[in-house]
Structure 1
């Protein structure tokens, strides 16, 4: 959820001072892109996973503070809901068995975290939306103790001026309201990071946008919310609605949403940060004492804290990241498309597919996005979220095609080529991309498996069925075998 923020009240003067500072940061960032030496020597990749906590029955366990104390590992951090935690995997280069390292490190850390957190009655579950949530779990009482979360919720509701409305239609229909952003806590994701040069950032971001729909179709894992069967990746419309600061009138006026696919292909990373400043008022107008221009002209690397905090409250599905490591600035694309789960090996397979395809497309001499409208990419994204593995999307040179067929015929070869360019050995690539191939051939991802299991329990009470299927899901998750083989 970004930088830590203390509980506080903001005045009009705070907002004016913050706006001026953000614009100063943006000017300095533009100059840095022209003049500074960004860290691009050996690009890294990274991975974060958000997790749910459940009790022995499979119901949400509102115990993240106790679980984190028991886990006692700085790689695990708090998240918005008391039934959430997040795990950060150390960044790696993909050569020298980086993908295998991701899998082994994640599995080792999660096993140990599960062992420790289970001692306080909280078990870990990797899934896009915990299906056993009910309305009480999404009330303000379930928010984590970190002051940032309550402050963020207050600012979203204040900007909106009314309760948040959730309206999602699928097999069932869900219409409800919320007096906080807690419904966002139901959305647990996997976030992939790819470091790139300033010169190549636009190509990697555009490529990430172009393939976002395919990622969702392959990996959808959020079919149930509050007892309702909705989209295969219900996390997408839920997240878009749960943090929407716009009233109906502002929507009609064309005000942009804060959970945003975007509105066009870009030519520079600066385009995205400039859009942030131009379109979105600050939710958390916290201002520090650093003068970024003075730091830069003295030969240092400015933190650009206000620009980064503001960026953290605009939830693009592919987010630009400016960060500093070892005193040097670097840029990353943060790919936020994927849900969590179902297993560690599925997660790493999803990562292998993304890292491979995005590398091939970004380095292509004829960019895919020059052949495809941005609106088509956005429409693809929502179609894939709704239909999952059965989604049909538009692709240049092909027209409308089933996403799984597109993967088998065109994108898997790109993924192999891209992983080879990253330095991944063919045998390691086959280990993970073979899972993607099997998923396509069997037409089964996490969402599809869960829906089929629920269909076998139609005569049961809906929540009893959800608990029963979740128990089987947890068994498969801990076995760490790909979901299409369950």
Structure 2
């Protein structure tokens, strides 16, 4: 829901004076950031990757378990944090480098940590599920005490509805259209994702961000895992449209005027990270205008690294699918591309495969002599993204030099060799490349990702006579069994 800087939110109500001063301070931070990009030494010589996994909690009947505070107390590990919903938790995987066999060690570490957390959560009667949208979540679960205890989340909810001035309309077409009104951002809590971070230099940021935007469509088509919401079969990756609508600060009149949404693909290729922060400041009013005591101009003049708290907090409330991040570690500033495209799950192996494909493709695409984004419009990249969210592995995507193509053909013929070459440039070991890209190849060849397995399984269970709610709960039980096996989703069996 935002960068770590927003965790320290001290208040939930803000005066007009606050907002005016915050706007001035954000602009000041932006000016200082521009100076830093020209003058400062950013840390990027040994780039780190990072991963965040948002998870759901369920009870013994595979219904949402609204007890994340008790579960987190039982887990007692600072790597696990609250998320928006009381049935959500987030696992922050420690950053590390890509070369060699590091990814295999990371897979082992993530599995061990999640298994330990699952065992401790079980003492409170909860189980941890990695999935894009919890399929057993129903409207009645999001009434009453659905939100985690947090000043930040309450302030965000209040600010969004103050900006809108009316309830939010959720209207998602699909095989079974869903249309409802909501008086809170509760539906947003259904959207659980996996976020991938890559540390980059200021000079390389634009190429990496542009490459991530190009890749978003194929990435999502392969990884879709959110076909159900509130019992309705909707998009292959319903999470994309649900997140967009559930945090929309615009009433219909502002949409008609072309005002940009807070959840945003963007509208153009960039030449610098500054372009994105400048857009944020120019287009989006503040949601959480908390002021810090820092004078960023004085900090920079004194030779220290400014925190730029206001700019970072503001950036944390503009939900780009590929978000720019400015951060400081051990006194040194660095920049990251945060990829927010993918849903969580189905298995740790699947998520590692998604990550390997992403990092390999990003390296290959960003280093091309004539980059792909010079051969396609930004609108085409966005259209690919939306088509992939709607139709998943059955989407049709545009790709320069190929034209309109299915994801399986695009991946098998074009993208897998590029991803392999990109990982080779990262000095990733051959066995690592083979393990993870083999999963991507298997998914493309079988045409089965998490969304396909979920919807096919529910259909089969209903054909046996189960009601939709019972079929969703049984599908989730089967899903959890297979999730713990760590066998990739394209190999999961289907009900006869």
Question: Quick check: 1:479 aligned with 2:452?
Answer: no
1:71 to 60, 71, 75: 75
2:131 counterpart residue number:
127
1:20-64, CA deviations, whole angstroms, 9 ceiling, x for partnerless residues?
A: 000000000000000000001101111110000000010000010
2:266 counterpart residue number:
262
1:73-109, CA deviations, whole angstroms, 9 ceiling, x for partnerless residues?
A: 0000000000000000011111131211221111011
* Distance in structure 1 (CA, Å) of the matches to 2:152 and 2:349: 33
Question: Quick check: 1:199 aligned with 2:206?
Answer: no
Q: Which deviates more from structure 2 when the two are superposed, residues 141-150 or residues 68-77?
A: 141-150
1:158 counterpart residue number:
162
2:98 to 94, 97, 106: 94
1:344 counterpart residue number:
348
* Distance in structure 2 (CA, Å) of the matches to 1:232 and 1:96: 34
2:116 counterpart residue number:
112
Tell me the CA shift for residue 13 of structure 1: 0.3
* Distance in structure 2 (CA, Å) of the matches to 1:466 and 1:297: 59
How many pairs align? 486
1:232-272, CA deviations, whole angstroms, 9 ceiling, x for partnerless residues?
A: 00000000000000000000111000000000000000000
Structure 2 unaligned spans of 5+: none
CA RMSD of aligned residues (A): 0.7
Structure 1 unaligned spans of 5+: none
Tell me the CA shift for residue 139 of structure 1: 2.9
1:378-417, CA deviations, whole angstroms, 9 ceiling, x for partnerless residues?
A: 0110000000111110000110000111010010001001
2:305 counterpart residue number:
301
Partner SS, residue 62 of structure 2 = coil
Tell me the CA shift for residue 146 of structure 1: 1.1
Question: Quick check: 1:451 aligned with 2:490?
Answer: no
1:28 to 28, 32, 43: 32
1:462 counterpart residue number:
468
Contact 2:132–2:191 (Cα < 8 Å) also in 1: yes
1:415-438, CA deviations, whole angstroms, 9 ceiling, x for partnerless residues?
A: 001101111011210010000000
* Distance in structure 1 (CA, Å) of the matches to 2:60 and 2:176: 28
Structure 2-normalised TM-score?
Answer: 0.97
* Distance in structure 1 (CA, Å) of the matches to 2:106 and 2:254: 43
* Distance in structure 2 (CA, Å) of the matches to 1:404 and 1:123: 34
1:398 counterpart residue number:
402
Contact 1:139–1:179 (Cα < 8 Å) also in 2: no
* Distance in structure 2 (CA, Å) of the matches to 1:6 and 1:149: 12
* Distance in structure 2 (CA, Å) of the matches to 1:58 and 1:230: 21
Partner SS, residue 145 of structure 2 = helix
* Distance in structure 1 (CA, Å) of the matches to 2:219 and 2:142: 28
* Distance in structure 2 (CA, Å) of the matches to 1:365 and 1:195: 22
* Distance in structure 1 (CA, Å) of the matches to 2:265 and 2:15: 31
Tell me the CA shift for residue 140 of structure 1: 5.5
List, as ranges, runs of 4+ consecutive aligned residues in structure 1 with deviation greater than 6 Å: none
Contact 2:12–2:154 (Cα < 8 Å) also in 1: no
1:351-404, CA deviations, whole angstroms, 9 ceiling, x for partnerless residues?
A: 000000011000111110000000000011000000011111000011000011
2:417 counterpart residue number:
413
